[in-house]
A and B are shown apart, each in its own frame.
Chain A
Amino acid sequence: MAHMTPTPVLDPSQDKTMVLNMGPQHPSTHGVLRLLLEVDGETIVRIMPDIGFLHTGIEKTCEAKFYQQVVPMTDRIDYLCPMTNNLAYCLAVEKLLGLEIPPRAQWLRVLLNELTRINSHLVWLGTHAMDIGAMTVFLYCFREREDVLRLFEAVSGQRMMTSYFRIGGLALDPPLGWLDRAKKFLTRFPGNIDEYENLLTSNPIWVERTKGVAYLSPEDAIALCATGPTLRGSGVDVDLRRDLPYTGYENFKFNVPISKDGDVYARYLIRVAELRESQKICMQALEGMPEGPTKADAPHVVLPDREKMKTQMEALIYHFKIVTEGFTVPEGEVYMPIESPRGEMGYYVVSDGTAKPYRVHMRSPSFANLQTLRPMCEGRLIADVVAAIGSIDIVLGDCDR
């Protein structure tokens, strides 16, 4: 929040530009983003993002919690893809511990992670289209998003703050019939994507507002630390699911859509293609879902089942010890990057050998991607800023942490 008071960027001797304040309560800034626009008429000379309004000190709070208590904190960072954050954190701690995760838990993690990507991209598509003026798409997207949230609710008890992944596996096996419900939704979902595309992809107003708008060159994208669809939209072929597979992604076949155009339309096409790829990955996960446990065999880390805890002395002792004093993690440090719907979500966890993390740092994709607004917007019209913000798909909770 560097610019709480508008900094005087005006030079009175050259009184040509003015400063326009956009946000933090602007509906198309996707949260509490404040932009200071220095404009010459309708043309943007300089753009300065001002963030930090949602900073809640999550990294500091994590240092005061046991390892397992950090999982619910990670949901609240990026509230559109809670499972991705859970997964990145759990993978980092599992790597510190050297834990092996059973295959069924891995496949369920992939399935839920891709459902989360669908959920996140649907919110992005709806709000992005609404910002530009297409209201109907928003209603269609939120209709399908509701189906995904119901699946989350059935599996974890929560629609948005799921906290379903645990260090060492999952909280529970999904309830009976849940996999069939997921399959039913995923079978009809490609038809829904066609619906959205019918409304937008060759709609002349949409194409006019997005094609050639907010261009980002591949050199700028790399230099400004952009990741995810923002980077792939500029033609840089990086997807961590394929390049550095985690949690069993090497067992799945999918394409990584890229485009060399670098404009808002290219980033739109990439995310819509990713919706289709995510649906394919989910179907593969459902078809090949292995049987077996969903928790690692590590009684000192993983809470025992409720049933065992109430009938076996040893399980009760482990339960008591984990809840009251946590579990210790061997000294060391790990950086665990994964591909979130927005880009590279990295968790840097440092352990000093105690039951609480010494340091948890979240490398959030929105924070880094926000810097690409400058090359996208400078020299262009004010109306294009809204399209540019939508196309990098920022979540301010993710940005400010």
Chain B
Amino acid sequence: MALEPAITDIAQLKDRPEVAALLAWNAAAVEGAKLDRGQLIVWLHRVALREACLTLKNDPALAYNALADITCVDWLPREPRFEVVYQLFSTSKKKYLRLKVKLQAEDPNIDSLTSIWPGANFFEREVWDLFGVRFDQHPNLARIMMPDNWEGHPLRKDYPVEGYR
């Protein structure tokens, strides 16, 4: 089974219902799309994320009504440094969609999704704790894995694997 090359051209992907719906909603908010190993990824502008999730959730043809996961990748030393990764799931269509938002190192801030999915609470606290990405309008953005008085964010690439000694 040879790997097929990933499709990164948004013009070729605009027939996919998810991409088409997002482009129809706000073409300026879609920064890119990629189909890699059968999995669809859409990059969004950070101010558009919450509205885009609402669009995907409320569109009856897509019905991405559940949030499966939130995580983050630190691309140090590349800029934009952080990439927050959202996995959406549709419990009726049984499909996954990955949304990504790029964040600059000096201003890692993004809107919280807790108003759409209260379950985003723990995931966002985890990303804040381990990566230092802040979620605006989060009800309780406290550390969740590390102790309260911990310094630094362990999953950042500039944090040593053995910790500071």
Contact = CB atoms under 8 A, between A and B. Distances in A.
A133 B155 CA distance: 42
A398 to B, nearest CB: 13
B93 to A, nearest CB: 10
A144 B140 CA distance: 43
A224 B155 contact: no
Contact of B119 (A2, A224, A358): A224
B39 A334 contact: yes
A99 interface: yes
A333 interface: yes
A346 interface: yes
B101 to A, nearest CB: 15
B105 interface: no
30 contacts: A1-B148, A2-B143, A2-B144, A4-B147, A4-B148, A5-B148, A51-B144, A52-B143, A52-B145, A59-B130, A98-B3, A98-B37, A223-B117, A224-B117, A225-B67, A225-B117, A236-B91, A244-B96, A330-B3, A332-B36, A334-B37, A334-B39, A337-B87, A346-B69, A348-B87, A359-B73, A368-B119, A371-B119, A400-B145, A401-B145
Interface in A359-401: 359, 361, 363, 367-368, 370-371, 400-401
Given A61-B161, A225-B66, A96 B144 contact: no
B94 A55 contact: no
Interface in B125-165: 125-126, 130, 140, 142-149, 154-155, 159, 161
A1 B117 CA distance: 22
Contacts of B87: 335, 337, 346, 348, 363
Contacts of B161: 60-61, 63-64
Interface in A249-306: none
A118 B81 CA distance: 43
B116 to A, nearest CB: 8
Nearest to B141: A2
B121 A98 contact: no
Contacts of B112: none
A60 B161 CA distance: 7
A165 B39 CA distance: 24
B1 interface: yes
Name which of A52, A63, A97, A371 has the most chain B CB atoms within 10 A of its CB.
A52
Given A2-B143, A223-B117, A238-B91, A371 B69 contact: no
Given A98-B1, A238-B94, A368-B119, A52 B39 contact: no
A137 to B, nearest CB: 31
A154 interface: no
Contacts of A237: 91
The list of the 8 closest CB pairs from A to B, nearest first, reads: A225-B119, A2-B142, A98-B3, A243-B94, A224-B119, A363-B69, A55-B145, A361-B71
Interface of B: 1-3, 6, 36-37, 39, 41, 65-69, 71, 73-74, 85, 87, 91, 94, 96, 98, 117-123, 125-126, 130, 140, 142-149, 154-155, 159, 161
Q: How large is the interface on A (under 10, 10 to 19, 20 to 34, 35 or more residues)?
A: 35 or more
A370 B121 CA distance: 11
A96 B1 CA distance: 11
Given A61-B161, A63-B161, A363-B69, A368 B122 contact: yes
A344 interface: yes
A363 B96 CA distance: 14
Contact of A335 (B67, B69, B147): B69
Contact of B85 (A97, A332, A348, A358): A348
Nearest to A1: B147
B145 A1 contact: yes
Contacts of A223: 117-119
A226 to B, nearest CB: 7
Nearest to B150: A1
Interface string A45-60: 0000001100101011
Nearest to A237: B91
A2 B148 contact: yes
Contacts of B69: 335, 346, 348, 361, 363
Name which of A63, A96, A223, A363 has the most chain B CB atoms within 10 A of its CB.
A223
A244 B66 contact: no
Given A99-B1, A224-B119, A350-B73, A60 B146 contact: no
Contacts of A367: 122, 126
A222 interface: yes
A197 interface: no
Interface string A28-69: 000000000000000000000001100101011101100000
A100 interface: yes
B68 A57 contact: no
Contacts of A344: 68
Contact of B68 (A243, A334, A346, A371): A346
